[in-house]
Amino acid sequence: MLHAAETQLSASPEHDISTRAVCEAVGVGQPVLYRLFGDKAGLLSALVDHGFDRYVQRKQALATTDDPLDDLRVGWDDHIAFALENPAIYRLMFSPMLARQPAAPRTVFKLLTATLERCAEAGTLRVPPEIAAQQIMSANIGVALALLVRPDIYTDPDLSARVRDATFAGCVSRPSKEAQGGSTALTATQLAARLRRNPAPSLGAEEQQLLLKWLDGLGE
């Protein structure tokens, strides 16, 4: 039924579905749909969850290398590729009009933050990981939606790469002499990332949180 709903969503010029048509496609009566999903809104919510499940599985399957910055770049490009390969479901996944906002985006955000934590540990992150994740994720989604919704305006084939590189330039960089100890902000961000991964045994929980607060402040 979810497959039928996605197929109809992809074929619809209005980017909408009919519960009757979905039921006819799988050969069941509408009471079956209502029993499983409650109503049309419930079916759309389930379709969104199904889309995010595929997206998260795809993200988790990406290779993790010794270069977190390269992994970050691959992750951006894969996000755009997923959107272009699944335009109808992607628009629905990130629609502000959903009756129930899905919880999966938090998982996606955590996956991105984990990669940024690795960048921080390597001394290549200019700002705290969560701040960088907000910056990168919002830009990534914005480009994807622009390419899907107004392809007549956003015609530059290199648009995604241009925005990606400009976005990354604001929060990450390749290792340099500055990253190796010349910058208080970079050093603070790097130390905070290492403490989050391996808490200092000599510090209590409250002391650890206070130190992380100070380090995050220095890293901004």
The answer to whether the CB of 143 falls within 8 A of the CB of 188 is: no
Please tell me the predicted confidence (pLDDT) of residue 177.
45
How high is the pLDDT of residue 176? 47
User: What is the b/e burial string over 87-121, where b = at least 16 CB atoms within 10 angstroms of the residue's CB?
Assistant: bbbbbbbbeeeeeeebebbebbeebbbebbbbbbb
Q: Are 121 and 189 in contact (CB under 8 A)?
A: no
Question: What dihedral angle (degrees, nearest 10) is formed by the CA atoms of 110, 114, 117, 121?
Answer: 170
**What's the pLDDT at 123?**
84
Tokens of 127: 């700002």
CA angle centred on 130, ends 161 and 179, rounded to 5°: 70
Angle at 78 between CA 41 and CA 4, to 5 degrees: 30
Contact 43, 19 (CB under 8 A): yes
Residues 7, 10: Cα–Cα separation, whole Å: 5
Q: Where are the alpha helices (DSSP H) in the chain?
A: 2-11, 19-26, 30-37, 40-61, 68-85, 87-93, 104-121, 129-149, 159-169, 184-197, 205-219
Distance CA 155, CA 148 (A): 11
- One digit per residue, the tens of pLDDT, for the chain of length 220 reads 999 999 999 998 888 899 999 999 999 999 999 999 999 999 999 999 999 999 999 999 999 999 999 999 999 999 999 999 999 999 999 988 777 788 889 999 999 999 999 998 888 888 889 999 999 999 999 999 999 999 999 999 999 999 999 999 989 876 544 444 446 666 677 677 776 777 777 777 777 777 667 777 776 5
As a whole number of angstroms, the distance between CA 76 and CA 57 comes to 15
pTM exceeding 0.75: yes
User: DSSP characters for 155-215?
Assistant: --TTHHHHHHHHHHHTTB----TIIIII-HHHHHHHHHHHHHHS--TTS-HHHHHHHHHHH
Distance CA 120, CA 193 (A): 6
* Residue among 153, 67, 78 at smallest CA distance from 108: 78
| CATH class as words, domain 39-219 | mainly alpha
Q: Where are the domains of the chain?
A: 1-38, 39-219
